[in-house]
Amino acid sequence: MRFFQKVLVVLTCGIAIILQSTQMVRDKLSSVAYEQHLRLQYLQSLRSIQYTYDPEQIFRPKLASNSYSQKILIDENRDDVQIGMENATIIMLVRNSELEGALSAMRSLEDRFNKKYRYPWTFLNDVPFTDEFIEATTLMASGTTEYGLIPSEEWDRPPHIDEAKFVQCMADMVEKEVIYGFSESYRNMCRFNSGYFFRQQLVNKYEWYMRVEPDVEYYCDFDYDPFKVMRLNGKKYGFIISIHEYEETIPTLYDTTMDFFELNPQYLHPNNSLDFLTDKEPFPNSQVRMDVANDYNLCHFWSNFEIGNLDFYRSEAYLQYFEYLNQAGGFYYERWGDAPVHTLAAALLLDKHEIHYFEDIGYFHNPFANCPSSTGIRKSKRCICDCSDESVIDVLPHSCVPIWWKVGGKTFLKDKGVI
Ligand SMILES: Nc1nc2c(ncn2[C@@H]2O[C@H](COP(=O)(O)OP(=O)(O)OP(=O)(O)O)[C@@H](O)[C@H]2O)c(=O)[nH]1
Ligand SMILES: *[C@@H]1O[C@H](CO)[C@@H](O)[C@H](O)[C@H]1NC(C)=O
Ligand SMILES: *[C@@H]1O[C@H](CO)[C@@H](O)[C@H](O)[C@H]1NC(C)=O
Ligand SMILES: [Mg+2]
């Protein structure tokens, strides 16, 4: 009996020691290593669900799960190596609250274009992006993603803006019900997109950008790399939709621009497209006539879609032009949009042949769309759009595309054998 008692004591002690050491091991693991262990386990189970999930199985694994709350979903081994050869990024300025719209736009552009090229995405925000935003957009992208915080001096109202005058101007615009007239943040956004997006730290390493906004949709396959097409054809700025701006948002923008070029005539390109900005009769037989106070017909390239050369904005001419506008204060005393600012700059600083109309890209940003009018293009590029839909602005009176054709000419890259 004594012998067995001894054995029992030894066994009990042994078990106690084992339990104790397991506890110690657990404590150790509970720090970084344990998190990594969990993460690996989670990724493994995720992969097994992804690759073995068979909805026809009777006892299939449960897909729904609320068992994790950490950001451990992103699989660092996924293949996001860039395939497209251009020095380019896709830029989205966006709020955390617009996540769903951002994902929708990304899904569309990835399916129609980027999944074949895996160009990197650059997300910009005036406040830090949330983990949820970063995780979901990283997983939606086929390429790498980066997230930048805009410095306050490049976003917020600058100190040279007179506070009292600004408040008064904004109140006047609210009274006149000018679109977004009430919004200071919209003005910040327009000034940022006019003068600072191309000099963000994350953007500095690129030469080309494509701008994407939440909730836009691409109706057709691209079928080619637009960055490459721009480079090979010597293009600097590409657009899809062109319409007339609300005059009340930019009463003095054109005159301020003319003042700038009077002071700096060397920047005006000899082959500019001033005629695009001043031609007021798009249709010889149309009843529609723009009734505008000055020479500017209010035509602008809609900037929610843009493909452009970042070095154009970084040029001395553009930087000087932007600073002149910035000092004039119209981003705040009026409500200058980045679209007319980019347009005036592109039309006056560039050769008109450096501007490209991407008429073969189907695109929608509420409330307007572009749907390629050629049946052959629509079918071969798998477009899903109805050219007779009222959103398709193309040659409607409000569109400036016919004026662009008169000035910029109508050229087809396909005819040149480039794309
Ligand atoms: N981070 C951040 N992004 C903003 C803010 N305001 C606007 N944006 C982004 O700037 C771009 C333009 O803003 P929108 O609200 O789409 O302006 P819009 O296209 O003129 O007008 P709608 O699309 O008709 O509302 C979008 O990509 C927005 O997500 C802001 O305060 N913070
Ligand atoms: C991409 O373009 C930027 C800006 O022009 C330049 O600084 C950078 O060196 C380029 N990168 C490559 C890989 O060519
Ligand atoms: C203007 O365009 C013509 C061709 O249309 C070209 O020959 C000329 O070099 C251009 N001028 C400049 C300064 O680029
Ligand atoms: Mg928008």
Residue whose pair of structure tokens reads 């390493």 in the numeric block: 205
Residue 234 C-alpha to ligand 1 middle, in angstroms? 30
Which is the closest atom of ligand 1 to the Cα of 150? 1
Rounded to 5 degrees, what are φ and ψ at 14? -55, -50
Residue 240 C-alpha to ligand 1 middle, in angstroms? 18
Nearest ligand, CA 246:
1
Q: Write down the pLDDT at residue 287.
A: 58
If asked whether residues 211 and 222 sit together in one domain, one would say no
If asked whether residues 254 and 209 sit together in one domain, one would say no
If asked whether residues 272 and 376 sit together in one domain, one would say yes
Residues 227 and 143: their CA atoms lie apart, in Å, by 16
Residue 204 C-alpha to ligand 2 middle, in angstroms? 8
Average pLDDT value for residue range 41-59 = 66
Q: Write down the pLDDT at residue 35.
A: 78
If asked whether residues 320 and 303 sit together in one domain, one would say yes
Q: What angle do CA 263, 268, 270 make, to 5 degrees?
A: 145
Q: Please report whether residue 69 resides in a domain.
A: no
Residues 327 and 160: their CA atoms lie apart, in Å, by 8
Output the six-digit token pair for 300: 């602008």
CA 69 to chain centre: 29
pLDDT at 29 over 70: no
Average pLDDT, the chain: 89
Q: Poorest-confidence range of 26-35, 336-345, 381-390?
A: 26-35
If asked whether residues 362 and 230 sit together in one domain, one would say yes
How would residue 283 be classed by pLDDT, with cut points 50, 70 and 90? low
- Verify whether ligand 1 is closer than 6 Å to residue 213 (CB atom): yes
pLDDT at 339 over 60: yes
Q: Poorest-confidence range of 165-169, 303-307, 376-380?
A: 376-380
If asked whether residues 229 and 343 sit together in one domain, one would say yes
Q: Please report whether residue 73 resides in a domain.
A: no
- Verify whether ligand 2 is closer than 6 Å to residue 313 (CB atom): no
If asked whether residues 104 and 127 sit together in one domain, one would say yes
Give the residue numbers marked as catalytic: 306
Residue 271 C-alpha to ligand 3 middle, in angstroms? 6
Which is the closest atom of ligand 1 to the Cα of 125? 1
Q: Please report whether residue 159 resides in a domain.
A: no
Average pLDDT value for residue range 335-357 = 98
Residues 16 and 4: their CA atoms lie apart, in Å, by 18
Q: Please report whether residue 252 resides in a domain.
A: yes
Q: Look at ligand 3, atom 2, and give the residue with the nearest C-alpha.
A: 271
Q: Write down the pLDDT at residue 100.
A: 98
If asked whether residues 308 and 356 sit together in one domain, one would say yes
If asked whether residues 257 and 205 sit together in one domain, one would say no
Among 158, 183, 215, give the residue marking a domain's end: 215
- Verify whether ligand 2 is closer than 6 Å to residue 315 (CB atom): no
pLDDT at 69 over 70: no
Among 166, 188, 215, give the residue marking a domain's end: 215
CATH number where 284 lies:
3.90.550.10
| Residues whose beta carbon lies within 6 Å of some atom of ligand 3 | 270-271, 351
Nearest ligand, CA 349:
3
pLDDT at 337 over 60: yes
Which is the closest atom of ligand 3 to the Cα of 269? 13
If asked whether residues 323 and 227 sit together in one domain, one would say yes
If asked whether residues 220 and 145 sit together in one domain, one would say no
Nearest ligand, CA 269:
3
How would residue 34 be classed by pLDDT, with cut points 50, 70 and 90? confident
pLDDT at 78 over 80: yes
Q: Write down the pLDDT at residue 275.
A: 96
If asked whether residues 306 and 394 sit together in one domain, one would say yes
Percent of the chain with pLDDT over 70: 86
How would residue 11 be classed by pLDDT, with cut points 50, 70 and 90? confident
Residue whose pair of structure tokens reads 């091991």 in the numeric block: 25
Residue 186 C-alpha to ligand 1 middle, in angstroms? 7
Q: Please report whether residue 63 resides in a domain.
A: no
Q: Please report whether residue 343 resides in a domain.
A: yes
Report the number of distinct structural domains present in the chain: 2
Residues in the chain: 419
Q: Write down the pLDDT at residue 71.
A: 53
CATH number where 103 lies:
3.40.50
How would residue 6 be classed by pLDDT, with cut points 50, 70 and 90? confident
State the residue range of the domain holding 132: 84-150+196-215
Q: Please report whether residue 257 resides in a domain.
A: yes
Q: Write down the pLDDT at residue 280.
A: 84
Q: Please report whether residue 13 resides in a domain.
A: no
- Verify whether ligand 2 is closer than 6 Å to residue 389 (CB atom): no
Average pLDDT value for residue range 353-367 = 96
